[in-house]
Structure formats: structure tokens, C-alpha cells
Structure 1
Amino acid sequence: MTGIECFAHHGVFEFEKREGQVFVVDLVLGIDTRPAAASDALVDTVNYGSLVADVKAAVERDPVDLIETVVQRIADTCLFDSRVEWARVTLHKPDAPIDATFSDVALTITRTRGNAHD
């Protein structure tokens, strides 16, 4: 899933917390798709619609200073479903307050069930 757009109030600066800005999430999940392929039943796989709603809610709640904190929160949300073996999460902050011309600021992490909080 790519390009999940969220509006949140994260950032070190007071104006970021006050005014908010767009954040964009990309997810790559490691799941075994064979059960769903065999059954053709949604119950046998990750419900991407529900996951996107949960990720969006995780990004948009509880403002914090660092995108590192937010991206870990997203990974934890993905790994909450026991069928997700690993999650690669990229959080984009395209409007980061940097005094230079740039196209994006992004952080990517990969977490597995064994290192969800490492």
C-alpha cells in the first residue's frame, strides 16, 4: 500500500504541532498469502481497508516530536495482526520545515514480529 495520506500535528516546532501537516505512509507487509489464495476468503488474509484505517488513526493521534516515534507506531499497528510476519514502513514528511529546496523527507524501517520494539 502506498501513498496513504494523513494529516497530523507531529514535529519539534510549535507551529508544526499547532498547524499540522500532511504525512504519507507506504507499507510493505510480509504475509503468507497461501491460505487466502486457497479459500478466496477475506478472513484468511489481512483486511487492507481496516489496516489502512488503523494506520491512519495511529498517525493522526497523539502528536509527538519525531517521525521515528510515528513510524514505530505504524509498524506496531501492522504487526498487531498475527498474520503479518514483518512490516516495512516508510513515513514521508514532504513539508518538513527545512530551509532548502527538497522533494521529500522520509524514514523507512523494517520490523519483524521478533523485533517489533527493538
Structure 2
Amino acid sequence: MDRIILEDLSFFAYHGVHDEEARLGQRFHVDLTVWADLSTAGETDNYDDAICYARLTRTVEDVVMGQRFKLIERLAQAIADAVLADERIAKVAVRVHKPGAPLPIATGSVSVAIERERG
């Protein structure tokens, strides 16, 4: 199956368990891979046959910026659900990277990666 890959989409949002995260916000990065049959667009070179990368980006942005989640696991799931609303997409992988996660060490970061398929 063919793939579209969007990497390092960056958003400033207010997700997290701690009150400070909700109040101050922080940067989140999202990587998205979608599996779909891209053969028609590859053969016709017609935009109407393609899955729009800008629309995928806006879908991710709407979820990240439009809702607040305590857990990045839930954020990743909400992104996957929104992307799979496009019936042409068979599978999605979402990675949410939280470089400013409160960790008990001087440096480090946290990411969650999930894969979901149309059921």
C-alpha cells in the first residue's frame, strides 16, 4: 500500500496533566503517515484523484489546536480518528512528540506513537 508522510508538524498548544501545562502551553510535534491507494493520482496526475496534503495538515491542526487533552496518548488517538474519517485512508500512524514534557532529569523528551486501521 502507498503512503503519504508528513513529518515534524509543529504546534503550540495546551495539553498535559499539570495545571502549568494548561496555563503556559508548550510545543508539540506530530508525524503522520497514512496508507492509501495512490495509484489513480499517480497515473492521471489529476489533483482531484489525490489526497490533499494541506487538508491532512489542517485536520491535524484542528485536533491539536481545537481541543485540550491531558494525555498525548489521547491526542494521538483523536488525530488518528479524524484522519480515518477520510474513507480513502486505510491506515494511519501518528507520533506525538512532547519535547517539553516534565521529566525528573535535566534533559529528554517523550513521544507516543500509535497505528490504527480502518476496521
Common fold: TM-score over 0.5: yes
- Who is 2:63 aligned against? 58
Residues 1:70 and 2:75 aligned together:
yes
- Who is 2:3 aligned against? none
Q: Give the total of aligned pairs.
A: 114
2: CA distance, partners of 1:100 / 1:91: 20
Displacement, 1:96? 0.4
1: CA distance, partners of 2:77 / 2:18: 20
Displacement, 1:104? 2.1
Q: Which structure 2 residue ranges, 5 or more long, are not aligned?
A: 1-5
Q: Which amino acid aligns with 1:2?
A: E
**Partner SS for 1:4:** strand
Percent identical: 37
Residues 1:112 and 2:117 aligned together:
yes
Higher strand share: 2
- Who is 1:49 aligned against? 54
Which residue of 15, 23, 30 corresponds with 1:25?
Answer: 30
The answer as to whether partners of 1:92 and 1:104 remain within 8 angstroms in 2 is: yes
Displacement, 1:20? 0.6
Q: Which amino acid aligns with 1:46?
A: I
Q: Which amino acid aligns with 2:41?
A: A
2: CA distance, partners of 1:94 / 1:86: 26
* Runs (4+) off by over 3 Å: none
Displacement, 1:73? 0.7
* TM norm structure 2: 0.91
2: CA distance, partners of 1:13 / 1:33: 42
**Partner SS for 1:12:** coil
1: CA distance, partners of 2:19 / 2:97: 20
* TM norm structure 1: 0.92
